[in-house]
Structure 1
Amino acid sequence: MQLDIFADSHDVMLRNDVLDALHRRCAVDARLAWQRLVAEYPDDDSRAALAMLIDELDLVGASPFVDHGALETARRRLEEQVEPAARQSFGDAAGRTWIASCWRTLAQRAAALPYRADASSNHAAPLWLRAGDWAAGREAIERIESWRRIPAPLGWMAEVRYRAEGLEAAWPLLAELAWVSPARFARLLAHLADGPLDALHRKFDANFDGAGDDTDLAWFPAWVLTEKASLATLLRTAQSSLQTAPERGMRLLLQILSLEREGRQHELVEPRKTLRDLHAGLYAAYMKAR
């Protein structure tokens, strides 16, 4: 039998009609096109995923969430069902672009919900980040009282600063996050996937003499100064945090580097001794660079 190209491509044409309407975010046109596809091809493999995306378009303009539980349900649906459906229908890159608008809708509906430490994912700020709207994310974070002392919003703001302004601008917040929550700092490093930052992280893991777990990352901002003294100007602007040993280590190294730069060698003896007593591994890294 000779292949009838027009007949055999009819399902593709109908499917593309649905995708075109979804691209335009027109729920009415998408549903009509989907109904035509299903009427002629009831067993089409794409029908369920396309239906889910059409249903998601209907949520534009939906009422605000009344509580964190409602947001939790909607967020999980978007993460676990709608996002995979978008990738299946559009491909990975186009799917991520399409779903960003859905995260924006979710963030808008969550705007009035207060931050809760026991449900940090259910807040507008991380949803704005998922949408790629750094300005709206910043505004949502700044409305959280004492955000700079809380690991989750501090991590969000570090990402906002990185995405909007670059790594140099993010260094102070990255340092503060490392001190407050080394585990969250580790997850943010993996999420940012920044080449130079990852290279420093790998070198730190390979060479820093510490406990051998994620808690070592609290010392990363101090250790970085032994590799890149040029970061001193940026890291000096990190705000005082919990005054932990890793934070004191970085402040001490900043003092030592300043004394070295000014040629005040006779004043280095005591700070160096204090650094050695504070953390032998950090002191060894500092001396190795001398």
Structure 2
Amino acid sequence: MQQSMQQLDIFADSRDVVLRNDVVEQLQRRHAGGARASLTQLASEYPADSALPAMTVLVRELENESSLPLADHTELTAVRRHLEDEVTPAAQRVMPAQDAHAWSTPCWRSLAERAAPLVFCRSHTESHAAPLWLRAGDWAAATDAVNTIESWWRIPSPLAWMTEARYRGAGLDAAWPLLVEMAWLAPSRFAALIARLRDALLDVLRRRFDAEFPGTGEIEDYVWFPAWLLVVKPALAGRLGEARVQRELPASRATALLGEILRREHEGDQHELVSLREELSWLHTGLFDAYMATRKVQHR
């Protein structure tokens, strides 16, 4: 009899776990009715259960799913913040990290589809379908969404979205030209993107740049990252040379100039090198010194 009572006690102690698991199972099936029924059962037996608030958020999210196009950018901003600030944390509260990410992905996909008719708006730069497709893990759809934006490569947000989509879909080698343009156009977003990508090589290069580049130590130094990269990784000249040069930006001109210097060095054109190196020294003395330190020549 005593053993049976112990078994009953164990069952009673685990009853809340069973009920929580029932809710999570229905949530993962994305079965709104079943999730609501399981949640109601849990709440009736364990009204103070700590998982109830988060589970309630997720059940309501399933119940309120909509495929209707969004009215405007303001509505998109509100729904996006709801997913970021309420739904995603709730999923992380009641599910393992991998499951929470998988559960949230259809939410982002649905929102991206609803946001598709909204054109890019400079006063709502983050309210567009492209970053939502990135959250959903659909790199091709993100690329297509960015391509609907006129001159996207001249605008920091769309350029960052396209760069991330290119990296996620095709890897670092394919993304180099866009990363270069990102550094020139918006160095702060470039630094944030590198941190988000968590690429081992990029992280090593960024740390080396931070330690070696003779700049001011401010975030704006990253505008010179592409030019510095040619000094330490000249083999990348071909890929970096595919970036759209912005002649009005000294750092962009310096990158193009270093590419030309490397080509002239390969050809052995010493006469032309003198004037090219002099021009580089005018653009950034510290960068020029870093370049010359890698050459067995002395600046005259």
TM over 0.5: yes
Alignment check: 8 A CA contact 2:245 2:253 kept = no
Identify which of 20, 25, 48 aligns with 2:30.
Answer: 25
- Shift of residue 212 of structure 1? 2.0
Matches of 1:168 and 1:200, distance apart in 2 = 14
Whether 2:124 is the aligned partner of 1:107: answer no
Q: Which residue of 1 aligns with 2:208?
A: 203
Matches of 2:236 and 2:156, distance apart in 1 = 23
Q: Which residue of 2 aligns with 1:244?
A: 249
Matches of 1:195 and 1:243, distance apart in 2 = 32
Highest CA radius of gyration, 1 or 2?
A: 2
Could you list the structure 1 runs, at least 4 aligned residues long, displaced by more than 6 angstroms after superposition: none
1:216-231 alignment to 2 at 5 Å?
Answer: 216-231=221-236
Q: Which residue of 2 aligns with 1:87?
A: 92
Q: Which residue of 2 aligns with 1:285?
A: 290
Alignment check: 8 A CA contact 1:180 1:241 kept = no
1:134-153 alignment to 2 at 5 Å?
Answer: 134-153=139-158
Matches of 1:241 and 1:117, distance apart in 2 = 21
Alignment check: 8 A CA contact 1:162 1:169 kept = yes
Q: Which residue of 2 aligns with 1:253?
A: 258
Task: Give the stretch that moved more between structures: 92-101 or 78-87.
Answer: 92-101
Instruction: Tell me the TM-score normalized by structure 2.
Output: 0.93
Q: Unmatched 5+ residue regions in structure 2?
A: 296-300
Whether 2:38 is the aligned partner of 1:65: answer no
Alignment check: 8 A CA contact 1:177 1:184 kept = yes
- Shift of residue 167 of structure 1? 0.6
Matches of 1:65 and 1:190, distance apart in 2 = 31
Alignment check: 8 A CA contact 2:156 2:185 kept = yes
Whether 2:198 is the aligned partner of 1:193: answer yes
Whether 2:225 is the aligned partner of 1:214: answer no
The letter of the residue matching 1:93 is Q
- Shift of residue 242 of structure 1? 5.2
Alignment check: 8 A CA contact 1:49 1:86 kept = yes
Percent of aligned positions that are identical? 50
- Shift of residue 266 of structure 1? 2.9
Identify which of 147, 157, 162 aligns with 1:157.
Answer: 162
The count of corresponding residues between Structure 1 and Structure 2 is: 290
Alignment check: 8 A CA contact 2:70 2:76 kept = yes
Q: Unmatched 5+ residue regions in structure 1?
A: none
Q: Which residue of 1 aligns with 2:298?
A: none
Q: Structure 1, residues 171-197: CA drift from partner, whole Å, max 9, x if none?
A: 100111111111111111111111111
Q: Could you say what secondary structure the match of 2:123 adopts?
A: helix
Identify which of 138, 152, 164 aligns with 1:133.
Answer: 138
